[in-house]
Structure 1
Amino acid sequence: QKQTRSPEQDSKDKGKGLTSIKEYFVKWKGKSFIHCSWVKHDDVVKVAKYSAGLNMRFKHYQRSVYGMPQVATSGKLEDQEVGDMVNGIDPLWVLADRVIAQQEKKGRKVGRRKYGESPGFLAGGGSLHPYQLEGLNWLYFAWEQRKNVILADEMGLGKTIQSIAFLAALKEEEQVQKPHLVVVPLSTFPNWEREFALWAPQLNVVPFIGNQAGRTVIKTHELYADPSQVKGKTKAHSRHAELQARVKFHVLLTTYEMVGSETGTLRSLEYETLIVDEGHRLKNQQSKLFQQLHNFKTRQRTLLTGTPLQNNLSELWMLLHFLDASKFQSLGDFEADFSDLSHGDQIAKLHELLSPHLLRRLKKDVLKQLPPKKEQIVRVELSPLQKDWYRGILTKNFPNLTNGKQTGRLKSVMMELRKCCNHPFLIDEQEWPVTRDPKQFLQQLVQASGKLALIDSMLVRMKERGHRVLIYSQFTTLLDLLEEWLAARQWGYQRIDGSVGGADRQSRIDQFNRRPADNFVFLLSTKAGGLGINLASADTVIIYDSDWNPHNDLQAQSRAHRLGQLKPVMIYRLVTRLTIEERMMQQTKKKMMLEHLVVHKMNTAADLKQDELDDILRYGAAELFADAVAASQKAQQDATT
């Protein structure tokens, strides 16, 4: 309510007295909270008639104001209730079956509720798949038992939707008083917002993100009701209790970064449920994120991760320790109990320990209708220019390769060799073509790299056959180069890397999915483009250069091979023959061998031992230099003849 003076009142009362009119503080779609503004009630009602989503949220808001219960109803009854509700009449309690249903909810026993079909309160987003319904029931039962858990479904199975369905169920069935906290990576934030609006518009979800000015608006208007509007609650005896009683949102959706910036604000409340997306990021107990979230007051905690098995034994223990510190107290004892996973009894014991806390399903087991995925390793030869650069790098760093004591320098050499395998222009910009002729530029750019020459010919055929392609790389400088190549080819494309913000990121994804005729290729950095992205409109994935952690590449593949994919998905992994890349691939294969045993040792490049570095760097060098000697001898013979 806002005190104001209407023009009519000015003319009658000559400026004396004020009248109270109703206004809403509106958050405008596509703009940050600093652009919020007041809009009159009548204007909001007019606009709501033309927007189904806004109309639904408006109805739910009015219900909450007048204390009406949130129950699923038909669309016809919804229309009838709007006028009655404003007049303070509650027709929901007139129907006997609804009264009985409410009483049964209050008196039911723990563990008895089980959804046999997709709940009606999720009708706006569609129906849950059977395995997603199982996931909802599992999460719900874990909440009833106050058990902290990990939902570890393979990427692309809809962990986000299952989590939203779980929170909606708590709102619909239990009338939970405490709010929920959902912490997600910045890259997945827009997707979470969209899925909440689609599947559970009845939930008041506050996106806690933005600059300091925007967050101030959120804290002022979105988090707490005015004390005078808090009805039916006892007087708070402390500042904490008073804030808790005034909470007016159901879900606070925020990011890892905001947890660090707004720890004081977030810790001032108690939460019913804490959900952490990409929960494997809590693998380091010393990280600020781990310590901050670990100290939050929550009734139940859920971690979401599609790659729970990539971590070594200690990192797995960290996740379990975050969930249940009393049960998983000692890292030393945990490692001693499962020191040798080659023994079946230890594997069985580990399964038994994890089963109450972890649910994992694979696409091949639950999505029989999903088109198949096939991966092909394509071994590529170095171009003549690449061979010259590769030999030059090894020759220049020969002393470092022979003394084996400068690990830091060897890693730098490794990075130079990886760049060379991708494209020699990444090492020396002076190699770039200087011609202004577009055809000559394209020819020189493509012929300089064995990989680029290969995918150039591949994509010509793919475009003719109607395929759409995702290209992943570890190097943003390579993505820059590939942009030049695509522009020269006059092929439409989109790009996402770590520098692309959330809103722009989602806009590019939408452009690619909705306008296939204008977008043939999507360029993505492996880490930034491996999370929170649905690119099922593409059917081909090219891993231009592999990640040290093979699970990051699996994340990337799952952007296309996921729910909604209608075509078989083909993955091409490019590997330069007899180079550092081929040896890296052999190393990552070893890392994947024990995945079916639930956990395994997983080292990153930073953890490589000295002998492993030496072995990787020297791999293929003998043959490369032998080729150079043979070529030199042949040139001399040709010269003498």
Structure 2
Amino acid sequence: KNISVSSRVGDETKTLLQKPDNYFKDQEVLKSSQEMRTEFSICKTIVNVVYGKANKKKHKTWEGDGILEIGNKTVTLKDNEGKILGTSSNVKTAELSEGSRIFVGNKEVEIIEEIREVTRSKKRPSENVEEVARQSLYTNKKIKSLPQEYVRIPHKKKALHSATETLVMPRPDDQHQWEYNLNHEPVMDVIVDPSLNKHLRPHQREGVTFLYRCITGIRSLNYTGAILADEMGLGKTLQTVTLIWTLLRSGPYGGKPFIKRALIIVPSSLVQNWHNEFIRWIGSHKIRLFVVDKKNKSKDFMESNLPIMIISYEQFVRNIEDIKDVNCDLIVCDEGHRLKNSGIQAANCLNMLPCKKRILLTGTPIQNDLQEYYTLVDFVNPGILGTPIEFRRHFGNAIIVSRDPKATEETVKEGKEKADELNRYTNGFILRRTQAVIGSFLPQKNEYVIFCAPSLLQKKIYAMISKIWQERMEEGVTHSFDDINHLSTITMLKKICNHPILIQSNRIEDHIDVLSKFVDEEMATYSFQEADSGKLSLVMTLLKRLYETKERIVLVSNFTQTLDLFATVCDKYKYKYIKFDGSTASAKRSEIVKIFNSDSSDIYILLLSSKAGGVGLNLIGGSRLILYDSDWNPAVDLQAMARIWREGQKKNVHIYRLLTAGSIEEKIFQRQLTKAGLNESIVDPNCKKSVKLSKEEIMDLFNFTGEDKCLTHEMLKCSCSCDGIIPSGDIFNKKENDDEERDCQLSLEKNNYTMPSLRMNQLFQWEHYGAPIHPSLLEEMKMEKSESEITFVFRNKTE
């Protein structure tokens, strides 16, 4: 019989003219749909995963893609068809995140998409669920799609971005196609993987596009190298990872990969970090890398069929005979400024490789002179600046002479013209951005250059050693600036600035008998006191104060001996610390960083060697960094100070740079101003300023007056009242393009200043504080009890 049946579905009433034969069976479908709705209301999150058989293999082989339903008490693994592969109730769901691996049944699972919450109602039935079930009454087919609420998160391979967000690489022009597209393949768009593109900031998208143009030859067919010279913390690694992954996946002709293999050469402390960055951004399910270490030998790379080799500079030099036969399509050199001298072994070995697609990453492309700059440029694009002799004749001589404080107006003009011409030659393959581009994305940064008063013992020993040395110089014992005795004495003075106890076991050349005798007599019976170093006394007071705030500290020094001293005093006060120096095994370095950055770690202080760990490390677990001593090379100090103000930092950061007033440390700081100024005026085309020191000031290293005043502020000839007000007046009223201010003649001995940017080597836009230091600044620095130890402070705040 035909029976009229009313069924309420949503807000509509439908009449079934005939009861189907499988009516009662279909009621079970409706019942199960209600159960599905109930189960769905309990499930909290759904994530994309890859899964495979559970085993202990180092390199996992995944079977397929799936979804993981994470409930309040259980997790359920399903394949893409909705089939249940396993469940587990022994999972700490609160700790799951992208990249986590867990076991579900007999499967190992890795989460590849960030966890997303799903909002559900427990009160009102889901019409969508019932509608799907109702439709099955007539189709009598298996439900193939889930209701809207229950649909899984799209897999990463699917485009999640609108067309305006898609990052498409530039298309090759006709000349490029004529040279490279010999098989007449269709020209196709090269698109950056959306899973990477969504993490890129605007300046990083620009950087990836810039590198792509250079490496593929779109910019120039003859020169396919590039230098990414962004300042520290701007994500050079992420930009490079994105470029390599893009080139490995596709190319402009027929969509075929543009490269098949890449060689990445990095400092030993960053080998594991580079591996981790690839896994972090791309995922272990997508890419495998060949990391040269004790287990993996470079000679095995050719047989591995893996696309990327990561190797340290030391291992690269040691295994060049094995590597030179590897057919690599791209070479990346991280911290490339270590190749600045063409005569070093690593540079010679790199030039043995035939690959001409080269990327050099560095935050400081110029460190000492223009010849080093030439070496770096010639490495990435051989011959583009001619021979070394041609470069010096055409560019170098004129630029260097123009930077002499006594240079004539005509000489300065010629130097500026040559610098501009050099910029035009190189700005097509050198890209440099400053931290200003990410300032709005990061927390506030407070920088302090603090001049500390030396203790009475420091003054006594320092003055006597300086006097003895100058007497020996006059007697002709030391013949040149580079004499080993000269450098040895400089090192001794630097150690005295850290703490006099550091020279207690210092060996001095036998023929400087007077100096040796004095040190032996003065330090033979010495007993250690923290107060015998102005800097150490200040640091210990600061550490005690910061211990109350639960902030983590990075304490940086050039000397392992000084780090050992820090360890001793930390043990005395029971401060928990971890040390990272040259003796730290490569395998442990990544673990140390991970421990320090962990929210659950109880480490208070990281003792960091600026040489061993001051490059490339991400130490965002710390919010305060103390640079205890300075290096002649400004790059070393700037790299070290950039460890905490980086992507991922959530707290306001404070960076303290300590200098012993009137000592060689202050003169090293002044010397750094000259080198950094040269760097900016050549590499940064927007820079119109420079800072210079005279030769007399550079040679006056051993002059020690014993006064506590800040010599650097005096040399600036700044007329401010030293009360924290940024200097104003005629210094900033002149226009940058004024004819009287060529190429930023911010000289320390002339009054023709121009307005500098907020940089460590440009102090006129920093706040100047003289003694007695204002209480508000002391409170901000957490140095309320150290007023007597501070003679001057330069302060800068970046918001």
Same fold (TM over 0.5): yes
Determine the C-alpha separation between the residues in 2 that align with 1:560 and 1:129. Answer: 19
Determine the C-alpha separation between the residues in 1 that align with 2:573 and 2:497. Answer: 22
C-alpha contact (below 8 Å) 2:555/2:628 kept by paired residues: yes
Aligned to 2:702: 617
Determine the C-alpha separation between the residues in 2 that align with 1:296 and 1:498. Answer: 29
1:514 equivalenced with 2:598 (yes/no): yes
Residue pairs, 1:61-210, within 5 angstroms: 107-109=185-187, 113=190, 119-122=193-196, 127-145=199-217, 147-174=224-251, 175-176=257-258, 178-201=260-283, 202-210=286-294
Determine the C-alpha separation between the residues in 1 that align with 2:592 and 2:572. Answer: 21
- Among 469, 486, 498, which residue is 1:410 paired with? 486
1:326 equivalenced with 2:408 (yes/no): no
Amino acid at match of 2:194: G
Determine the C-alpha separation between the residues in 2 that align with 1:207 and 1:47. Answer: 32
Amino acid at match of 2:322: T
C-alpha contact (below 8 Å) 1:371/1:568 kept by paired residues: yes
Unaligned runs of 5+ in 1: 1-21, 30-43, 56-73, 80-105, 225-246, 436-440, 601-607, 625-641
Residue pairs, 1:503-582, within 5 angstroms: 503-515=587-599, 518-582=602-666
Aligned to 1:288: 345
Determine the C-alpha separation between the residues in 1 that align with 2:630 and 2:594. Answer: 26
- Bigger Rg over Cα: 2
Aligned to 1:230: none
The number of residues matched between the two structures is 499
Change (3 A) 1:558 1:622: closer
C-alpha contact (below 8 Å) 1:494/1:523 kept by paired residues: yes
Deviation (angstroms), 1:54: 10
1:256 equivalenced with 2:313 (yes/no): yes
1:597 equivalenced with 2:663 (yes/no): no
Deviation (angstroms), 1:594: 3.5
Deviation (angstroms), 1:369: 2.1
Aligned to 1:50: 108
Deviation (angstroms), 1:500: 0.8
Deviation (angstroms), 1:497: 0.9
Amino acid at match of 1:186: S
Residue pairs, 1:343-422, within 5 angstroms: 343=413, 344-403=416-475, 405-406=478-479, 407-422=483-498
Cα deviation, 1:194-236, whole Å, max 9, x if unaligned, reads: 01112223233111222xxx345x745x642xxxxxxxxxxxx
Determine the C-alpha separation between the residues in 1 that align with 2:229 and 2:106. Answer: 39
Amino acid at match of 2:703: R
Aligned to 2:130: none
C-alpha contact (below 8 Å) 2:378/2:385 kept by paired residues: yes
Deviation (angstroms), 1:597: 0.8
Aligned to 1:478: 562
Deviation (angstroms), 1:160: 1.0
C-alpha contact (below 8 Å) 1:426/1:478 kept by paired residues: yes
Determine the C-alpha separation between the residues in 2 that align with 1:280 and 1:267. Answer: 22
Aligned to 1:587: 671
Cα deviation, 1:404-427, whole Å, max 9, x if unaligned, reads: 634432222221111111101111
Determine the C-alpha separation between the residues in 1 that align with 2:216 and 2:431. Answer: 16
Amino acid at match of 1:180: A
Deviation (angstroms), 1:250: 0.7
Amino acid at match of 1:129: R
Deviation (angstroms), 1:269: 2.0
Deviation (angstroms), 1:359: 1.0
Aligned to 1:302: 359
Q: SS at the partner of 1:452?
A: helix
C-alpha contact (below 8 Å) 1:48/1:54 kept by paired residues: no
C-alpha contact (below 8 Å) 1:537/1:560 kept by paired residues: yes
Determine the C-alpha separation between the residues in 2 that align with 1:323 and 1:388. Answer: 51
Determine the C-alpha separation between the residues in 1 that align with 2:373 and 2:701. Answer: 28
Change (3 A) 1:46 1:255: farther
* Greater helix proportion: 1
Percent identity for Structure 1 against Structure 2 = 31
Amino acid at match of 1:160: T
Change (3 A) 1:209 1:514: same
Q: SS at the partner of 2:331?
A: strand
Structure 1 vs Structure 2 CA RMSD: 3.6
C-alpha contact (below 8 Å) 2:270/2:617 kept by paired residues: yes
TM-score (norm 2): 0.57
C-alpha contact (below 8 Å) 2:449/2:657 kept by paired residues: yes
Change (3 A) 1:622 1:559: closer
- Among 240, 251, 268, which residue is 2:325 paired with? 268
Higher relative contact order (CA 8 A, sep 6+): 1
Determine the C-alpha separation between the residues in 1 that align with 2:578 and 2:190. Answer: 46
C-alpha contact (below 8 Å) 1:178/1:270 kept by paired residues: no
Q: SS at the partner of 2:702?
A: helix
C-alpha contact (below 8 Å) 1:401/1:614 kept by paired residues: no
Change (3 A) 1:488 1:25: closer
Residue pairs, 1:24-63, within 5 angstroms: 26-27=57-58, 49-52=107-110
Change (3 A) 1:170 1:47: farther
Deviation (angstroms), 1:113: 4.1
